[in-house]
Every structure is written in structure tokens, then in C-alpha cells.
Amino acid sequence: MNALKPPVQKNEYYDVAFEDMTHDGAGVAKINGYPIFVSNALPDEKAKIKIIKVNKGYAIGRLIELQKESDYRVDAPCPIYKQCGGCQLQHLTYEGQLLAKRKQVQGVMERIGKLQGVPVHPVLGMAEPWRYRNKAQVPIGEREGGLVAGFYQQRSHEIIDMKECMIQQETNDTVVQTVRAICEKYGVRAYDEKKHKGTLRHVMSRYGLVTNETMVVLITRTEELPNKKKIVEEIVAALPGVKSIVQNVNQKKTNVIFGDKTTVLWGEEYIYDYIGDIKFAISARSFYQVNPEQTKVLYDTALNYAELTGEETVMDAYCGIGTITLFLAQKAKKVYGVEIVPEAIDDARRNAELNEIDNAEFEVGEAEVVIPNWYKQGIKADVIVVDPPRKGCDEALLNTIIDMKPKKVVYVSCNPATLARDLRVLEDGGYKTVEIQPVDMFPHTAHCEAVAKLELKM
Ligand code: SAH
């Protein structure tokens, strides 16, 4: 490959063959080793493309004409798939998606992790990979005097009307459309982001899959909401599963959905849901996994890999609201969870109490600071579980793990590339990666989760 001059030119056409897929679902073709990324192209396809952007290390192309189709290509079932951009892989069969995700994990393990021969198991997918999301947050706009609830068209701020979303629980679609219609009837105006006027910004619906409880959140620019009382009464009458109606006020000119002030308009502050045997209280602002069915699969995998006997001290880094921590607590002597968001730790403590789990302790802070402190205080883990955000673990945390030498590390990752990078560090520090199990938490999107099991080398 010529490092100085890319082998393609902007606005020129090329015939290429796709061999791979990027982490965000675009096809990868190569000319003399130089990669070209093309949306909507699949591995094993051939196509005519037009180059729209040339960078030093790669180019972006647009698909002009498919010359050979993948056996795994399908017509995307969702009518607004291309405009929405929320899903990236609907043009690939579900079987093809699972194969591509496994290949992605295998690829980074070799390329980035320099790990040869680590078993990467077939991805655990869903039997019914639609209608899985338990949370919808839908922006509200206006069209011909009425309200529309939809999504921002890709690369624009125009709201496109969406009657249903195929990866969303039906209940959430019903809630959003019902609330939209009721607000329209009572003359509520949608928030206009250009003028920073109007009232209703977003409608959010959260649904407890096991409990059937629903929460409605109205996110408004002003505290005042015309006909608030009547709107609430009608929502309650129209949607029997609703246990909680909440208003959140966001007065700022911002893309951030939530503002600081949250008040309960009707019913409870929390709804509840279960993952396995553990009950979780979910408020308007709580983080909670959006695909509870697959979350159970992910946590069961992590718990299996931890191989607890009941005698262990366990640390759970990046613990969020304590979901994995409480799962582990049932099988361990003592579990310590650490998380940077204080509200999440409040939820974690509440959830421990709710489940009468008294061997879990939580601390707010950075995992890379708190865990070295625990270690200095003489707390030593037999097993460490980490579940970091996309950027992976901080190096200080990895070094503390290497010093502390827990006999097992279970790494839950939402980004295979940083997982591979961190596994390399742990391997160099005395650990062996035994196996990796990818789990499909977000069918039809390019997201890929995986759990790795590591053991201290003797
Ligand atoms: N284990 C949880 C959440 C994982 S998401 C679950 O399964 O539900 C990753 C979490 O890491 C987020 O809650 C985020 O707030 C937290 N986080 C990000 N950086 C952190 C840091 N440096 N130290 C501790 N927690 C951090």
C-alpha cells in the first residue's frame, strides 16, 4: 500500500469486492490494501461505488450498483429503515448478523489483541429478535397543525413521523401514540428548537417486561403544561398498565433530552422489573438495560465465568445500578461495586435493599481510583468483573488487577476493539484469556457485546 497517496479519487467510480464489515455496519472493500467504507454493502458482495470522501488512511464510498449480492441480504422489513438510522443491519438476515458479529470479535482478537486461537463462541442471539426495547424516548414535532412523534432524520433535525418501531415493545409504541394524541387534543404545542418556544420536547415510555408496569415521562420546556390535569386523567383512562406519570422540565437549548427537575404527576415514582430473580426499581432517570431478556443471558454468562462457590470476595467495576453486582452477590461471600454516577449508586443501594441482599457494598468514584484504594486498605478480590463503557478500562485499573492477582477476571464489553486491547494488557500481566462469548443485546444494530473469561496463569 502506498502510504502517501490513496489509490482512489473523490467523485470517481470503482468496481470493488467487499470482504469485511466495520463496527458500525458499513461494508469494507480494499484497493491495494487501502480500505474503503461503504454503507449498506455486505461482506461477499461486489458493487460499483462512487468515492465521496478521501482520507489518508481510508475513503468513504457510496453504493451505486450491486453486482453480486450476499446470500444473507434481505429487504429491510422496516419501512423507514434508511431514513431513521437507529438500526444498521436490517438489510442482513438475523443469521448473517450473528455470523458477522462473531467474525468481528474474532478479527479484533487477532488484529488488536494479538491473541491467536482464543475460542470465540457463536453469538447468543434472540429467538425472536424484534420488539425487544423496553424504553422509547421519542422527540415531538409539529406537522400541519398537529403533533408528530418520531425520530430525527439522519444528519438533520427534522422529525419524521413514526407510528411504530419494529425493535420497540408494542406497549411503548402505543403509549407514545396515545400520549401524542391526548396532548394534541388539549392544544399542547411541540417544542421548536430553532425558536426555543413551545412546550412538549419528548415523550418517554418505559416498560417492565416481567411486571407489565409502564411509566410515562413528559419532557417539557416549561413547568407549565396547558390542561395538565386533564391530560393526566386521560392518559390514566386510556392506558391501564400505566403506574407512573412523570414530568421532567428541560428549559435549556440543548440536544440533551432530560433537564434537572423531575416531578411525579400521578402514581408512583418508580416502576419495577425483574432480571432473573432480582427486582429493580426504575425511575425516570435511572439507567436500566434496554433489552432485559438478553441482559439475563449476558449476566448468566458472566456469572458462569466467575465460577463462584460462595466463599469469594468479588469486585464489580463500572457497576451502574448494581445489576451484575446483585447477581454476583447471590453466589459470593461479599461483593464490592464501584460506579462514577452518584444517582446510579443510590439506585444500586436501593435495589440491594429491595432484594434483601446484605453482602453488597457500593462506592461512588472512578474504578481506577477506588479499586486501588480498596486494595491499599487490604481488600483483595478473588474475582473481578469489569463492564466499562466503550472506551474500555483505564490502564491504572488494569495495572491494579495485575498487582492484586484475582484468580479470575470476567470482562463484559460493549466494544470488541477496546476489549481486545485490554485483554492484551492483562495477558502481558499474567492472565490467560480462556474463552469469549458474544451476546446479541441489540439485534439489527451494529452493537456487539461480549464476555471474556480470564484466569491467572500458574
Ligand atoms: N454494569 C452495569 C453498567 C455498565 S455501563 C450494567 O450492566 O447495568 C458502564 C458504566 O460505567 C456506566 O454506568 C458509567 O456511568 C460507568 N463509568 C464510566 N466511567 C467510569 C469510571 N471511570 N469509573 C467507574 N464507573 C464508570
d(CA 243, CA 215): 6
Q: Each residue of 378-434: pLDDT tens digit?
A: 999 999 999 999 999 999 999 999 999 999 999 999 999 999 999 999 999 999 999
In this structure, are residues 386 and 396 in contact, taking their beta carbons and an 8 Å threshold? Answer: no
Which pLDDT score is estimated for 3?
57
Position in ligand 1 atom list of the atom nearest CA 341: 15
Question: Once rounded to an integer, what is the mean pLDDT over residues 316-326?
Answer: 96
Does residue 349 carry a pLDDT above 90? Answer: yes
Position in ligand 1 atom list of the atom nearest CA 388: 9
Which pLDDT score is estimated for 322?
95
Q: Each residue of 156-167: pLDDT tens digit?
A: 778 888 989 999
Residue 345 CA to ligand 1 centre (angstroms): 10
Q: Each residue of 26-79: pLDDT tens digit?
A: 999 999 999 999 999 999 999 999 999 999 999 999 999 999 999 999 999 999
* Structural domains present in the chain: 13-68 (2.40.50.140), 99-127+291-456 (3.40.50.150), 135-275 (2.40.50.1070)
Residue 197 CA to ligand 1 centre (angstroms): 35
Among candidates 171, 264, 174, 177, which has minimal Cα distance to 213? 171
Residue 4's pLDDT band, with cuts at 50, 70 and 90, is: low
Residues with CB under 6 A from ligand 1: 287, 289, 318-320, 323-324, 338-341, 344, 366-368, 387-389
Does residue 307 carry a pLDDT above 60? Answer: yes
The region that residue 353 occupies, defined by phi over 0 for left and psi between -120 and 50 for alpha, beta otherwise, is alpha
Q: Each residue of 170-218: pLDDT tens digit?
A: 999 999 999 999 999 999 999 998 899 999 999 999 999 999 999 999 9
Q: Give, for ligand 1, the residue of 327, 339, 400 to mutate: max count of ligand atoms closer than 8 Å to Cβ.
A: 339
pLDDT over 90, % of the chain: 93
Residue 253 CA to ligand 1 centre (angstroms): 27
- Whole-number Cα distances in Å, 13 to 10, 22, 50, 57, 179: 9, 21, 4, 19, 48
Which pLDDT score is estimated for 2?
47
Residue 344 CA to ligand 1 centre (angstroms): 9
Residue 97 annotated in ligand binding: no
If you average pLDDT over every residue of the chain, what do you get?
A: 95
Residues that are catalytic: 414
